[in-house]
A and B are shown apart, each in its own frame.
Chain A
Amino acid sequence: MELAAAKMIGAGLACFALAGAGIGIGLVFGSYLQGALRNPGAAASQTANMFLGFALCEATGLFGLVVAFMILFM
């Protein structure tokens, strides 16, 4: 196979990182809502933690983007 084509395929495969990020973000917000609806009083104090979890999850997916760029441009 040609190197350029292999690079493109590899970069495309790196998009699978998005699956993990999607599951993670879904879990973060889902669990937050579950907890918040059970105990609305404690919800406000945990929004910062929720956004921290969201940002950490999202970043994991973006590592896939970095891998894709490394494959394409290095």
Chain B
Amino acid sequence: MAMNPMEQFEVRPIVPLHIGPYDLSFTNQSLFMCLVVAVVTLFLTLAMSRRRLVPSRTQSMAEISYEFVANMIHSTMGEDGLVFFPFVFAIFMFVLLSNFLGLLPGAFTVTSQIAVTFALASVVILTMVITGFIKHGVRFLTLFVPKAPWYLLLLLVPIEIISFLTRPVSLSVRLFANMLAGHTLLAVFAGFVILLGAAGGVLSVISIAPMLLIVAIFALEMLVAFLQAYVFAILTCIYLNEALHLHDQH
């Protein structure tokens, strides 16, 4: 029985569409991205449609997610960072929901594609650069010059520039690698269970052990799914804070 743990990440076209040299097919990836956006939109609008002073359960879920992101922005960027609330909230909800929807059996994980995460990360970094130049003009470039004696600056400025350039890469690869590794791990262990279970005799009984392990790993994956969305959002906040306030704290 040949099982490929990487098969779940395959992008398959649902509605093929080729315009000129470009492949614009509607794939299972696009389907799940639409699904994620639809779920987030429906959840937030439905939860807040019947507003009450004493919130119902769904309403308080929506309020908790709002306050969570608002607190995150407040603690990293301060009061004037709240202009970025819609941006950070959209990114957080999108990443969170795609991570969680991907955990459903048979679902496609949108964030396990480097194309998606790198696009998100580039949008974040571009927003940061554009905000920085609008707010500070050329002074934004002092971001690369920390307060240090001049002979250290010879070393520090290249390091700062390199670390700035690796930001979109590390931001996107972190999310993508976490999702890829987690789902591959689950698929590999599921393969163990099937192989052991089909072997018959004592081995079938032993197959309960990896089965239980899958449950534990799944719980870890749910933690990771939330944590990676949180990390993505808070790093977005930290980067935007640098664009807003350069080196001085808020």
Complex Cα distance, B235 from A56, in Å, reads 10
B177, B180, B234, most chain A CB atoms within 10 A: B177
Please indicate the chain A residues that have their CB under 8 angstroms from the CB of B131 in the complex.
none
A14 to chain B, nearest CB (A): 12
Is A52 within 8 A of B174, CB to CB? no
A16 at the A/B interface (Cβ < 8 Å)?
no
B117 to chain A, nearest CB (A): 12
B130 at the A/B interface (Cβ < 8 Å)?
no
Is B234 within 8 A of A52, CB to CB? yes
How many chain A residues have a CB neighbour from B under 8 Å? 13
Please indicate the chain B residues that have their CB under 8 angstroms from the CB of A51 in the complex.
227, 230
Complex Cα distance, B180 from A41, in Å, reads 38
Is A55 within 8 A of B181, CB to CB? no
B228 at the A/B interface (Cβ < 8 Å)?
yes
Complex Cα distance, B37 from A37, in Å, reads 43
Is B177 within 8 A of A62, CB to CB? yes
Contact with B along A31-74 (1 / 0, CB 8 A): 00000000000000000100110111011001101100100000
Interface residues of B in 202-237 (CB under 8 A from A): 224, 227-228, 230-231, 234
Please indicate the chain B residues that have their CB under 8 angstroms from the CB of A63 in the complex.
173, 177
B178 at the A/B interface (Cβ < 8 Å)?
yes
B contact patch SS: helix
Is A66 within 8 A of B173, CB to CB? yes
Complex Cα distance, B170 from A59, in Å, reads 9
How many chain B residues have a CB neighbour from A under 8 Å? 14
Complex Cα distance, B180 from A52, in Å, reads 19
Please indicate the chain A residues that have their CB under 8 angstroms from the CB of B173 in the complex.
59, 63, 66
Is A56 within 8 A of B177, CB to CB? no
A19 to chain B, nearest CB (A): 16
Is A55 within 8 A of B227, CB to CB? yes
Please indicate the chain B residues that have their CB under 8 angstroms from the CB of A59 in the complex.
170, 173-174, 177-178, 231
Please indicate the chain A residues that have their CB under 8 angstroms from the CB of B234 in the complex.
52
Complex Cα distance, B180 from A58, in Å, reads 13
A65: contacting residue among B170, B177, B227, CB under 8 A = B177
Which 3 residue pairs across A and B have the least CB separation, nearest first? A62-B177, A59-B174, A55-B231
A52-B234, A65-B177 are known contacts; what are 15 more A-B pairs with Cβ within 8 Å? A48-B230, A51-B230, A55-B228, A55-B231, A56-B174, A56-B231, A59-B173, A59-B177, A62-B174, A62-B177, A62-B178, A63-B177, A65-B180, A66-B176, A69-B180
User: B residues near A, CB below 8 A?
Assistant: 170, 173-174, 176-178, 180-181, 224, 227-228, 230-231, 234
User: A residues near B, CB below 8 A?
Assistant: 48, 51-52, 54-56, 58-59, 62-63, 65-66, 69
